[in-house]
Amino acid sequence: MTGGRALILAGTGMLPEVAETLVRQGWRVVLPSRRYHPLAVPEARPGTPVPKRSWRRGSFAQPGGESGRAVWVEASWDRPAELTEKAEAALAGPVDLLVAWVHGEYRIEVMRSVERLLATTASVVEVRPSAEATFGTEPVLPDHPTQLVLLGTASESDSSQLPSRAEIAEGVMAAVGRALDGHPASIRQIGLVRPMVR
């Protein structure tokens, strides 16, 4: 699917590669967060000026006539009703894809608040730490097919480091691809899980 509406719930500057990819594919992407963080907009077609980095400026024409847009709205996890209202105004229609990487303390309340914005056929990609899998891997919004992404505590390429931004972005985009292709709910692990040392 291209050209739908996506809501990305992630911290400021988190998952920009996912948002940029969706915009390039013609999606309207709304990104609520506390602070503004510019996105790299898609490259312009040959012969047109290259736009500056921004979330707020205009729509970006894509090959084949599609256009995408990213819109930032100021919002905080601890005010989910306000976040939902602001996101609804910026979306201008029902959400086709929800990508949520929300701190565990706020995850359930925030995701349940925005659930009313989702189209009945909307897919969900939910990102959370692997450590939380010990408490269950049930999705927060069970009425929507959910690709659950569990973040390990170590990179697959260097077990002394956390998973890199590139690893996380690649894993989340793979989950987004599965969601948009209509695959059934699944769980994907990014990185390795190191045992906790006390």
pLDDT exceeds 80 at position 89: yes
- Residue 166 is predicted with a pLDDT of 86
- Does residue 60 belong to any structural domain of this protein? yes
- Does residue 196 belong to any structural domain of this protein? no
Domain containing 30 — which CATH number?
3.40.50.720
Give ∠ CA 179-108-174 in degrees, rounded to 5. 20
- Does residue 50 belong to any structural domain of this protein? yes
Contact 193, 156 (CB under 8 A): no
- Does residue 96 belong to any structural domain of this protein? yes
- Residue 39 is predicted with a pLDDT of 74
Q: What's the domain range around 133?
A: 5-190
- Residue 125 is predicted with a pLDDT of 95
Classify residue 190 by burial, with Cβ atoms within 10 Å: 0-12, 13-18, 19+.
buried
Tens of pLDDT, residues 12-66: 778 889 999 999 999 999 999 888 877 765 433 333 333 433 333 333 334 334 4
- Does residue 198 belong to any structural domain of this protein? no
Number of domains in the chain: 1
Q: List, in order, residues 6 or more apart from 129 with CB less than 8 Å away.
A: 104, 150, 151, 153
- Does residue 142 belong to any structural domain of this protein? yes
Residue 106 token pair = 């706020």
Choose the weakest-confidence range: 5-9, 72-76, 128-132: 128-132
Tens of pLDDT, residues 179-193: 999 898 888 888 777
- The more confidently predicted of residues 135 and 83 is 83
- Does residue 40 belong to any structural domain of this protein? yes
- Residue 133 is predicted with a pLDDT of 60
Per-residue 3-state assignment (H helix, E strand, C coil) for 138-154: CCCCCCCCEEEEEECCE
Tens of pLDDT, residues 108-160: 999 999 999 999 999 999 998 877 665 567 889 999 999 998 888 777 777 77
- Does residue 31 belong to any structural domain of this protein? yes
Q: Which residue has the tokens 């929507």?
A: 144
Q: List, in order, residues 6 or more apart from 105 with CB less than 8 Å away.
A: 77
pTM: 0.81
